[in-house]
Amino acid sequence: MTVQTLTIRRPDDWHLHLRDDELLRAVLPASARQFGRAVVMPNLKPPVTTAQAAMAYRERILGALPPGSAFTPLMTCYLCDTTDPADIRAGFDAGAFAAAKLYPAGATTHSEYGVTSIDRVAGVLSAMQDIGMPLLIHGESTDPAVDVFDRETAFLHATLQPLLARYPRLKVVLEHITTAEAADFVMRDSSGRLAATITPQHLMFNRNAIFAGGIRPHYYCLPVLKRERHRLALRRAATSGLPAFFLGTDSAPHDTTAKESACGCAGIFSAHVALQAYLTVFEEEDALGRFEAFASDNGARFYGMPPNRETITFHRRPMRVTEQIDLPDGRHIRQFLAGETLPWTLA
Ligand code: NCD
Ligand code: ZN
């Protein structure tokens, strides 16, 4: 018999861009309605590089929450070549930072202040290893000679493998994985200290979507969508129930003029529909019974945080995804799956 309702422990989003100011106020309610907690990315302009900046950003997020919301933002530190290990320790001990984010300099949106070589942050990484603070990695090679579709795989061998060998107890999340190679890499590690987040777009689409009948900037994100065989491998990983894989939407809003441009920004805004999109994938893979592990259990366990106590319920009722959300200044943000209908509605 077809399942008509599904109740699971309230999920968390382990990779989210909330931006700031007007954009923050426009996008935050969607995440707050669905998720208990979210790991908030620090790639603001300027980036969040100090505990003081993280605490101030958290206050702005809390100030933008709808009344009565219990949503908890988990703040991250943007690592630079100059990050001081003592500040990382102090920020983690004080609860200002839940994790630190490593952007290889130039790898993605607002990553120009990122790390130019792992050696530059050696002291920071050993401090993080000592205190059990997770390192979140944007895993793409920035070598201009590497093809854009091969950047993740190149990173695994050239950077991640040596990093893991050098810091054998460091907790690492490989963010938004996009390839079969990355999924295999994470699966092969049996230590429990390596995990990966997976986005809804990488489970639903391959790179053809970017070029279907013309160039489609709203399917452009980083790491870029890959071939079908990678999408299928990611679907197997996400629905495997393995504790190393968990939900991270990478919802990354940009207004439509920034996306629909001669040099459009990378990032897909999925916050409103992410859960229904993931759920659709799990159902297609006949894995509804493993949805809660991916969405609500595995991430909290990896981060050493208690699972959420509340639940959420989905109903089998078609939901049409609205095209866009409007900003007060007249700009718009186009939504992932705009105009499509998904089979589940969140109560
Ligand atoms: C993100 C953004 O816009 O901040 N863009 C994206 O395509 N995912 C940055 C990132 O996570 O790489
Ligand atoms: Zn991101």
Percent of the chain whose pLDDT exceeds 90: 97
For the stretch 222-248, pLDDT in tens is: 999 999 999 999 999 999 999 999 999
The whole-number pLDDT of residue 233 equals 99
The DSSP-derived string for 279-303 is HHHHHHTT-GGGHHIIIIIHHHHHH
CA terminus-to-terminus distance, the chain? 21
Amino acid at 135: L
Tell me the ligand closest to 264's alpha carbon. Answer: 1
pLDDT at 158 over 90: yes
The whole-number pLDDT of residue 261 equals 97
By the 8 A CB rule, do 138 and 102 touch?
yes
Q: What is the mean pLDDT of residues 38-49?
A: 97
Q: Which long-range contacts (CB under 8 A, 24 or more apart) does 125-130 make?
A: 125/163, 125/166, 125/167, 125/170, 126/85, 126/167, 127/85, 127/86, 127/88, 127/89, 128/88, 128/92, 128/100, 128/170, 128/171, 129/167, 129/169, 129/170
The residue to which tokens 């109903």 are assigned: 315
Ligand 1 contacts CB of residue 221 (under 6 A): yes
Ligand 1 contacts CB of residue 109 (under 6 A): yes
Q: Which domains does the chain have, with CATH numbers?
A: 5-346 (3.20.20.140)
Cα(157)–Cα(227) distance, rounded to whole angstroms? 20
By the 8 A CB rule, do 173 and 302 touch?
yes
Q: Kindly state the helix (H) or strand (E) to which residue 198 belongs, with its residue range.
A: strand 194-198
Query: Cα 152 vs. chain centroid, distance in angstroms?
Result: 15
Ligand 1 contacts CB of residue 225 (under 6 A): no
Q: What is the mean pLDDT of residues 193-218?
A: 98
User: At 148, phi and psi to the nearest 5?
Assistant: -60, -30
Higher per-residue pLDDT: 61 or 110: 61
Q: What is the mean pLDDT of residues 114-132?
A: 97
By the 8 A CB rule, do 19 and 44 touch?
yes
For the stretch 295-338, pLDDT in tens is: 999 999 999 999 999 999 999 999 999 999 999 999 999 999 99
Q: One of 87, 250, 255, 297 is an active-site residue; which one?
A: 250
The whole-number pLDDT of residue 2 equals 87
Tokens linked to 155: 């990173």
pLDDT at 1 over 80: no
Angle at 11 between CA 160 and CA 298, to 5 degrees: 40
Cβ-proximal residues to 68 (8 Å cutoff; 6+ apart), any chain: none
Query: Cα 54 vs. chain centroid, distance in angstroms?
Result: 18
Residue 115's SS3 state is strand
Annotation marks residue 286 as catalytic: no
What DSSP designation does 159 have? I
The whole-number pLDDT of residue 109 equals 83
The whole-number pLDDT of residue 334 equals 98
* Average pLDDT of every residue of the chain: 97
Question: Which of 23, 27, 207, 221 has most ligand 1 atoms within 8 Å of CB, for mutation?
Answer: 221
Angle at 258 between CA 256 and CA 264, to 5 degrees: 110
pTM for the whole structure: 0.98
Instruction: Give, using CA atoms, the residue closest to atom 5 of ligand 1.
Output: 267
pLDDT at 91 over 80: yes
Cβ-proximal residues to 202 (8 Å cutoff; 6+ apart), any chain: 176, 177, 178, 225, 226, 230, 231, 234
Angle at 178 between CA 174 and CA 180, to 5 degrees: 100
CA-wise closest residue to 199 among 237, 170, 148, 150: 237
Ligand 1 contacts CB of residue 249 (under 6 A): no
Biggest CA pair distance of the chain: 58
